[in-house]
């Protein structure tokens, strides 16, 4: 079943004919071959595809970690397709909250300071950073772990810190790359319950996953194959 865009409002991601080529020696490898995609505010999307499908490349473009070879990417009504590195960094910090499989926490820094880090780049004062970081750690159930370092936390707790960090600047989009890939089944269920709650609070969530049970939490599943969107289905 193809997803019907008619009548949608509040489009925050609008990708048109995105192509991404990579040069390997004398060869040009075409990874994305003309992707068209719209995501609206408050959507809950799982992005899936086998190895080599272009899923990771599309995720990097969605997250403003990379720019397309051609095509346009409108994020919050701004064309980010051709921004330079500094402009992309500003967009990433303001509009996108990242959650990675490997957590990407600073090992010698407390949970509170890890969460507050994006606010430094946003130019917030120390008191603003500490208050907001404390607030989001409370929201993810870590009120009693704020002064702990990552090596004092379980895998699930580290991922909660990473989720709190993603939320701290109140971004337009939460982009999670295999967020349960390093977690056991019980902890994965807990983390997905947290993502479900985050979405229910009105956040736009994009999950990149190869696991069908994780994708089933989303309301819409987009499948890539060979650099194009193979299917786009609303399931809830």
| pLDDT band for position 175 (cuts 50, 70, 90) | very high
Of residues 24, 22, 32, the one with CA closest to residue 53? 32
Residue 230 has pLDDT above 90, yes or no: yes
- How confident is the model at residue 9, as a pLDDT? 60
Residue appearing with tokens 């995720």: 59
Domain limits, the chain: 42-67+84-234
Running DSSP on this structure, what letter comes out for residue 3? Answer: P
Structure tokens belonging to residue 31: 């990874």
Q: Provide the strand spans (E) within 49-191.
A: 70-75, 78-79, 96-100, 173-177
CATH superfamily of 42-67+84-234: P-loop containing nucleotide triphosphate hydrolases (3.40.50.300)
- Candidates 9, 6, 92; CA nearest to 43 is 9
Average pLDDT over the chain, rounded to an integer: 92
* pLDDT at residue 152, as a whole number: 97
Asked whether residue 201 carries a pLDDT value surpassing 60, the answer given is yes
What is the C-alpha to C-alpha distance for residues 191 and 194, in angstroms, rounded to an integer? 5
* pLDDT of res. 51: 87
pLDDT beyond 90 at 113: yes
């Amino acid at each position: 079943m193809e997803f019907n865009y008619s009548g949608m409002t509040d489009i925050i991601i609008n990708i048109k004919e995105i192509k991404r080529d990579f040069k390997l020696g004398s060869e040009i490898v075409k990874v994305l071959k003309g992707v068209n995609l719209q995501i609206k505010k408050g959507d809950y999307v799982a992005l899936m595809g086998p190895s080599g499908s272009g899923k990771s490349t599309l995720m990097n473009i969605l997250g403003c970690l990379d720019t397309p070879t051609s095509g346009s990417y409108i994020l919050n009504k701004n064309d980010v397709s051709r921004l330079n590195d500094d402009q992309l960094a500003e967009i990433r910090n303001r509009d996108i909250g990242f959650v990675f499989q490997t957590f990407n926490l600073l090992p010698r820094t407390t949970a509170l300071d890890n969460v507050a880090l994006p606010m430094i780049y946003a130019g917030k004062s120390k008191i603003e950073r500490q208050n907001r970081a404390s607030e989001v750690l409370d929201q993810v159930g870590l009120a009693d772990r704020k002064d702990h370092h990552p090596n004092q936390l379980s895998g699930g707790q580290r991922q909660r810190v990473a989720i709190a960090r993603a939320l701290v600047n109140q971004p337009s989009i939460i982009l999670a790359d295999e967020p349960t890939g390093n977690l056991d089944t019980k902890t994965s269920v807990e983390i997905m319950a947290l993502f479900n709650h985050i979405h229910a609070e009105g956040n736009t969530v994009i999950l990149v996953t190869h696991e069908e049970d994780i994708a089933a939490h989303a309301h819409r599943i987009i499948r890539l194959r060979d650099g194009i969107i193979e299917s786009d289905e609303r399931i809830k």
